[in-house]
Structure 1
């Protein structure tokens, strides 16, 4: 070190300053050295003396202290408690408990789960915000200010006010200034961690316009991502959010963080992505089991405002690599309890995958960094968009290929393809069914109705058998009802039938995705057909009670019968009724009102109906062949006789 000083003494003081700034990374305590006076005597200039009189500042980005993290966690945990205070006061959370218990029992009745690794099961939740986030002092101040505002009220007006707030001149989360990002890997990283990092970087680079360049050395005043193993200081699997300037660490602790999916999650944070379950609209998609969460860690499942979530510009994605899994053992008072429950139960096993970023994860980064890459306008189909790495073609959702995403992906030689439905049911099944499928097979089937104004209906039949996982990530079948296919669909695995009896396409197409990983099983079989036209329905009575604190209505369930107006369709919502209020949680209506042809009775779905002129008793055919109620007479339900179908 002293030889270096002597070699530099003839150069200008700015060069000396740069030399010391590089050496500052060595954390050397210059003031304790016995030759301090000697150095001061032969090097002239105030720059050295000022620099030398204080311990050099680290070139690493400084994270806030553990005490600051605890303060911020407490503020956001209080917001979550206040937001649902009424539920705890009137015990309405007890109404949700049977739902959580039912899901828990289903899981327990299955085979043992090989729990997918995720960062929250690894990290010390006391030392990181939202489970895996490091924060700068500026970010901490901005989030504390937001917490103070949110603690005063939790209504939507506050969230709108936050969006237009001018208290912060700079955004809480900053993008990188360019799509060319430097990175470095510490020499102490294990080979397995290095491999996972390189694979994760490749995933982001191949599917976005982001370009990563490795550097061997750290340089002052150069922003880069530095991969380290910070497990000795509770770093675990963690990252800063967005570009914070200087050298920002991503901690990949060996061995539990050394997976491609977890590293992809942390790189997503560094690029500016937050957790999917923290979006402002998350309560439309998930229910949080607050009653069983550890109170001091409720920040992990906090909802953020749209001011923080500046890139809130795509559909909510249950399959995002940034989404929390259904169960976080370290977050619960009872490790066997579910942490979140899907509003649509078909999504329950889609949440929380840590395999790779989803199609919408990549799309969001491309929207943030690559919007000006292509001036080409292409008519991309099925939810695709212009490929930022090849502007002459589209980037396609899983299951599609071709310049405009017009073709079904050819996943395998003996499965998949485009199939046209008809009135007569047809079958699709996994390869070799009912025998076991082989590892690493992929198949994609696009089911299409004969015309654009018709829908496809699908139901699972016979044996359903996949390896059991809480999050379907290895081997599974996925249904995507469209009409755009960029959002992750319903994923099913294990050996229990999917929750719904029948599935309807939202448009005229439905996509089936079959993926086999390392584990094999018997697979699945489905029956599909064209949905009967439903030109007329008898609507449910409108009940408007503004004082009812209810969630949104679910989709209408599939009609229980195919014709004659004998069937019913139902929709539900979750209500938290106050004293003296009666909030309807279920509505039903008659459906499929076309006359039945060639039959006088219906025996189907455990129901027996008598028909009169092709219509259920109590309904009469009109001139167009539709069953309708006569005048103001209410529907006669006496024809419905429950029977035991055995």
Structure 2
């Protein structure tokens, strides 16, 4: 459907080499054309940045010549399991609305004052289309339904989320159950989030059966990091702001995930400008280490 509406694969964007490394030699020969790079003449992204959580993005192992080979790796390796998403990302919704000029429908002076990066809904300009993890008419509330708001303190706290329907057995459901938590801290604070445990349950690339999405990003419009493997136990993230949305989702059997959170400390990467050469060198070193391990 995305192709019919005018989209290329995200990993074919003209600027993709700034965000992922493609291992052409690991791709099945008959599928290599699906990874061809577009040019600025054929690919207009309307000034919208790359999103690893795009539904138009292949997974990290897609069409590998041999099982287990990486065909691409994100420059931020923590996004590896996010590639191959089954969810339409917020940035894709924004790009589609720009592509068909729907964003011009709502008068900026008389429309909703959307917060947290949302934009007025073209079919109801007094309500907003919100980034993942945000809800309410103005994107300033936690989405309705399962989940709660939790206050971080200096001492770590934990909580468990159980989601899914094991009564349905080992059958993939057509829809997902979702549960959104907001971890909050005083203004000016950062939040440290740690994965304490995840189930040893079946899953696929892109965390398409179940997963937990943690958005610690500076730009909350981006898809957060997604995790869905018991090997992710111990993963620790530190936010840029004082609010971290955590989204649990399940479309297969039932899963239980335990999280820990507390007011965090600033890491080296938070202190370095994201566009600086030092920051890019740190990222490059991580990519090389991940590629070596695989």
TM over 0.5: yes
Q: Aligned pair 1:276/2:10, yes or no?
A: yes
CA distance in 2, matches of 1:573, 1:529: 26
Is contact 1:446-1:511 (8 Å) kept? yes
**Matching residue of 1:152:** none
Describe the superposition over 1:256-294 as per-residue Cα deviations: whole angstroms up to 9, x where unpaired. xxxxxxxxxxx2212211110011221222221223234
CA distance in 1, matches of 2:165, 2:116: 29
CA distance in 1, matches of 2:60, 2:25: 15
TM-superposed CA distance for 1:437, in Å, is 5.1
Instruction: From the superposition, tell whether residues 493 and 574 of structure 1 become closer, same or farther in structure 2 (CA, over 3 Å).
Output: closer
- 1:59-138 pair list within 5 angstroms: none
**Matching residue of 1:455:** 190
**Structure 1, unaligned runs of 5 or more:** 1-266, 545-549, 556-570, 576-646
Is contact 1:459-1:527 (8 Å) kept? yes
Describe the superposition over 1:235-262 as per-residue Cα deviations: whole angstroms up to 9, x where unpaired. xxxxxxxxxxxxxxxxxxxxxxxxxxxx
**Matching residue of 2:93:** 362
- 1:559-638 pair list within 5 angstroms: 572=285
**Matching residue of 1:446:** 182
TM-superposed CA distance for 1:314, in Å, is 1.3
Describe the superposition over 1:29-62 as per-residue Cα deviations: whole angstroms up to 9, x where unpaired. xxxxxxxxxxxxxxxxxxxxxxxxxxxxxxxxxx
Instruction: From the superposition, tell whether residues 268 and 351 of structure 1 become closer, same or farther in structure 2 (CA, over 3 Å).
Output: same
Which secondary structure does the structure 1 equivalent of 2:262 belong to?
strand
Describe the superposition over 1:377-426 as per-residue Cα deviations: whole angstroms up to 9, x where unpaired. 433122211111100111112222112111101232xxx12222111111
CA distance in 1, matches of 2:68, 2:232: 22
CA distance in 1, matches of 2:215, 2:148: 15
Q: RMSD over aligned Cα, in angstroms?
A: 2.9
- 1:471-620 pair list within 5 angstroms: 471-497=206-232, 501-521=235-255, 523-532=256-265, 552-554=280-282, 572=285
TM-superposed CA distance for 1:471, in Å, is 2.2
Instruction: From the superposition, tell whether residues 422 and 374 of structure 1 become closer, same or farther in structure 2 (CA, over 3 Å).
Output: same
CA distance in 2, matches of 1:275, 1:538: 33
Is contact 1:475-1:519 (8 Å) kept? no
Describe the superposition over 1:570-629 as per-residue Cα deviations: whole angstroms up to 9, x where unpaired. x83568xxxxxxxxxxxxxxxxxxxxxxxxxxxxxxxxxxxxxxxxxxxxxxxxxxxxxx
Which secondary structure does the structure 2 equivalent of 1:393 belong to?
strand
**In structure 1, which of residues 326, 349, 353 is the aligned counterpart of residue 81 of structure 2?**
349
TM-superposed CA distance for 1:518, in Å, is 2.7
**Matching residue of 2:26:** 292
CA distance in 2, matches of 1:327, 1:573: 18
**Matching residue of 1:207:** none
How many aligned residue pairs are there?
271
TM-score normalised by the chain length of structure 1: 0.39
TM-superposed CA distance for 1:328, in Å, is 2.8
**In structure 2, which of residues 29, 53, 69 is the aligned counterpart of residue 337 of structure 1?**
69
TM-score normalised by the chain length of structure 2: 0.81
Which entry has the higher C-alpha Rg, 1 or 2?
A: 1
CA distance in 2, matches of 1:358, 1:538: 28
CA distance in 1, matches of 2:279, 2:186: 36
Instruction: From the superposition, tell whether residues 286 and 551 of structure 1 become closer, same or farther in structure 2 (CA, over 3 Å).
Output: farther
Is contact 1:479-1:511 (8 Å) kept? yes
Flag the structure with higher helix content: 1
CA distance in 1, matches of 2:9, 2:279: 22
Which secondary structure does the structure 2 equivalent of 1:300 belong to?
helix
**In structure 1, which of residues 441, 463, 467 is the aligned counterpart of residue 202 of structure 2?**
467
TM-superposed CA distance for 1:505, in Å, is 0.6
CA distance in 2, matches of 1:298, 1:437: 37
Q: Aligned pair 1:315/2:55, yes or no?
A: no
TM-superposed CA distance for 1:334, in Å, is 2.3
CA distance in 1, matches of 2:5, 2:164: 38
TM-superposed CA distance for 1:527, in Å, is 1.0
Is contact 1:455-1:507 (8 Å) kept? yes
Instruction: From the superposition, tell whether residues 334 and 574 of structure 1 become closer, same or farther in structure 2 (CA, over 3 Å).
Output: closer
CA distance in 2, matches of 1:305, 1:323: 17
Flag the structure with higher strand content: 2
Instruction: From the superposition, tell whether residues 322 and 502 of structure 1 become closer, same or farther in structure 2 (CA, over 3 Å).
Output: same
CA distance in 2, matches of 1:459, 1:574: 22
After the TM superposition, which segments of 4 or more aligned residues of structure 1 sit over 6 Å from their partners?
Answer: none
Describe the superposition over 1:525-558 as per-residue Cα deviations: whole angstroms up to 9, x where unpaired. 1111112478xx999xxxx8xxxxx992346xxx
Describe the superposition over 1:1-38 as per-residue Cα deviations: whole angstroms up to 9, x where unpaired. xxxxxxxxxxxxxxxxxxxxxxxxxxxxxxxxxxxxxx
Instruction: From the superposition, tell whether residues 538 and 284 of structure 1 become closer, same or farther in structure 2 (CA, over 3 Å).
Output: closer
Is contact 2:164-2:251 (8 Å) kept? no
Instruction: From the superposition, tell whether residues 494 and 502 of structure 1 become closer, same or farther in structure 2 (CA, over 3 Å).
Output: closer
CA distance in 2, matches of 1:551, 1:317: 19
Q: Aligned pair 1:393/2:127, yes or no?
A: yes
- 1:47-62 pair list within 5 angstroms: none
Instruction: From the superposition, tell whether residues 373 and 273 of structure 1 become closer, same or farther in structure 2 (CA, over 3 Å).
Output: same
